[in-house]
Amino acid sequence: MPVKEAAESLFNSVIARRVACNAHNELYHFLMAVNQYGIEAVVQETIRLLMNNGDEYLTALRKATDMAIHMMGIATGEKTYQLIRNSMNNTHMTSNIHTATLTYNFR
């Protein structure tokens, strides 16, 4: 493996781990809020936050519900994207076909 390719792979791995850590922290706070206040209160507060950020009520309701369902899926061990990645690896897809790269603005 050429040095440049190895460096890019390492960089992408570091970014992915940092993003995963951020996601872990967000899941932790979601689960603690659900434990403390209940899922309905958490969804209602999410709706309020999204509306304060400019979403209309129905859009905020849909987003809040989708977010809660997704977080609960992760918390219960749903492995959707692990299965997707394994499937793509097993079909020998090349990683050169994508149009996006891992770039994030960490403040």
- Which tens digits make up the pLDDT trace of 13-26? 878 888 889 889 99
Does residue 95 lie within any of the structural domains?
A: no
Does residue 104 lie within any of the structural domains?
A: no
Which residues in the chain show pLDDT less than 70?
A: 1, 3-11, 93-107
What's at 80, amino acid-wise? T
Give the DSSP letter string of 22-44: HHHHHHHHHHHHHHHH-HHHHHH
Global pTM reads: 0.71
- pLDDT computed for residue 18 by the predictor: 86
Does residue 36 lie within any of the structural domains?
A: yes
- pLDDT computed for residue 103 by the predictor: 61
Does residue 10 lie within any of the structural domains?
A: yes
Does residue 96 lie within any of the structural domains?
A: no
What's at 25, amino acid-wise? N
Domain span including residue 85: 3-90
Q: 15, 10, 29: which is closest to 71 by C-alpha?
A: 29
Provide the domain count of the chain. Answer: 1
